[in-house]
């Protein structure tokens, strides 16, 4: 259970949030389709002291926001710091061709539409933290910051942040905010776990320098750190593996390295007398630059197992052993980085034109 003394400042916003944030990605068609079951999980998390919920418009194409809205009806909304995100297409599944090219992205045109859709689905008049789900090279960051500042001044959002931004783009956004006298990103939501430590090299130090709240997503590495992935066993099936096979296919070298590390970490957790889930969550929570890791349970049992990590503090010996298995600043598989910049996706950006 979370007590009042456990709450942490959300960057410099003045808002106080619980040491874990409840992620709602698995509520709806992407995970638990039964709304009543999902609502029960949300209520149980609130009763355990969590006051921070994160979702996104794209999760089950709006269904997650609808479920969260139902769960907060009846007087619960005022006591919850509610976060959601925009950027991804809302008229076609992620990664599928087609759809309206203006029905997505970080433009003012889409942001103004997207926030109204989220407010309607969430059944609320305001969003506490509105986040840009991914960078977009084709949109000037000033365009995005200007639209978000207007929404903040209108009272539709209280604060705004970024998600899965490279360190240099966070710095650029802060520079533009200061130069143009606009609101600024007050939080960053990056991928971070024992298997995905790349942000330790740059994003976390930059966020600390700017006083940003940090809300790591996937601290259990998409299920790799639940204890279900062990050497010599068949990899279990899951909703996420079906949606994102590139993060789980063992024919990919990075995923094989993840399996080996997950097995070694499970052995370490056994020696420490704790579960691998608790080891993984405690590791992320103990970083001084982290505000509130996002836990994303699909079942009540998963929620209870994750909440127990609040009582775990890892010793220096255990942290040193983790560093031996996965060195600081190392991401074992590039597929887990969450964002690939255009210069790596598009070969012509790396090749001098001739002729």
Q: Parse the chain into domains and list their residue ranges.
A: 4-221+284-311
CA 261 to chain centre: 22
CA dihedral 241, 242, 247, 248 (to 10 degrees): 60
Query: What is residue 2's predicted lDDT score, i.e. its pLDDT?
Result: 58
Short-list 233, 326, 320, 315, CA closest to 274:
315
CA 214 to chain centre: 9
> Average per-residue pLDDT in the chain?
94
Query: What is residue 92's predicted lDDT score, i.e. its pLDDT?
Result: 83
- What mean pLDDT comes out for the span 37-54? 98
CA gap 27, 224 in Å, rounded: 20
Percentage of residues of the chain with pLDDT beyond 90: 83
The predicted-structure confidence for 197-230, as pLDDT tens digits, reads as follows: 999 999 999 999 999 999 999 999 999 999 998 8
Instruction: Name the token pair of 319.
Output: 């942290």
- What mean pLDDT comes out for the span 245-253? 81
CATH 2.60.120.10 fits 4-221+284-311, yes or no: no
pLDDT tier for residue 251 given thresholds of 50, 70 and 90: confident
CA gap 115, 82 in Å, rounded: 13
Scan for tokens 């420490």, then name that residue.
272
Which of the residues are catalytic?
Answer: 59
């Amino acid at each position: 259970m979370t007590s009042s003394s456990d709450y942490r400042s959300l960057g410099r916003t003045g808002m106080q949030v619980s040491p874990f944030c409840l992620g709602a990605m698995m509520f709806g068609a992407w995970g638990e389709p039964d709304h009543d079951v999902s609502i029960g999980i949300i209520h149980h998390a609130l009763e355990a002291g969590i006051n921070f919920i994160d979702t996104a418009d794209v999760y089950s194409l709006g269904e997650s926001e609808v479920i969260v809205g139902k769960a907060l009806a009846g007087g619960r909304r005022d006591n919850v710091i509610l976060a959601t995100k925009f950027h991804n297409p809302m008229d076609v599944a992620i990664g599928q061709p087609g759809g309206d090219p203006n029905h997505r992205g970080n433009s003012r045109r889409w942001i103004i539409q997207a926030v109204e859709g989220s407010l309607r689905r969430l059944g609320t008049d305001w969003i506490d933290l509105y986040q840009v789900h991914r960078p977009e090279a084709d949109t000037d960051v000033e365009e995005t910051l200007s639209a978000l500042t207007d929404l903040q001044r209108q009272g539709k959002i209280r604060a705004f942040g970024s998600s899965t931004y490279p360190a240099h783009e966070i710095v650029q956004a802060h520079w533009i905010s200061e130069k143009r006298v606009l609101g600024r990103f007050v939080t960053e939501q990056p991928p971070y776990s024992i298997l995905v430590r790349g942000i330790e090299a740059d994003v976390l130090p930059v966020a600390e320098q700017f006083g940003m709240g940090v809300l790591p997503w996937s601290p259990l590495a998409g299920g790799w750190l639940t204890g279900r992935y062990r050497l010599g066993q068949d990899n279990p099936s899951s909703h996420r593996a079906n949606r994102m096979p590139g993060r789980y296919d063992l024919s990919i070298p990075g995923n094989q390295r993840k399996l080996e590390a997950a097995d070694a970490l499970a052995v370490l957790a056994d020696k420490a007398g704790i579960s691998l889930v608790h080891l993984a969550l405690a590791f992320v929570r103990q970083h001084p630059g982290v505000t509130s890791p996002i836990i994303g349970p699909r079942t009540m049992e998963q929620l209870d197992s994750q909440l127990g990590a609040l009582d775990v503090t890892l010793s220096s010996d255990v942290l040193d052993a983790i560093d031996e298995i996965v060195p600081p600043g190392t991401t074992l598989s590039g597929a887990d980085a969450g964002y690939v910049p255009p210069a790596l996706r598009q070969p012509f950006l790396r090749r001098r034109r001739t002729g």
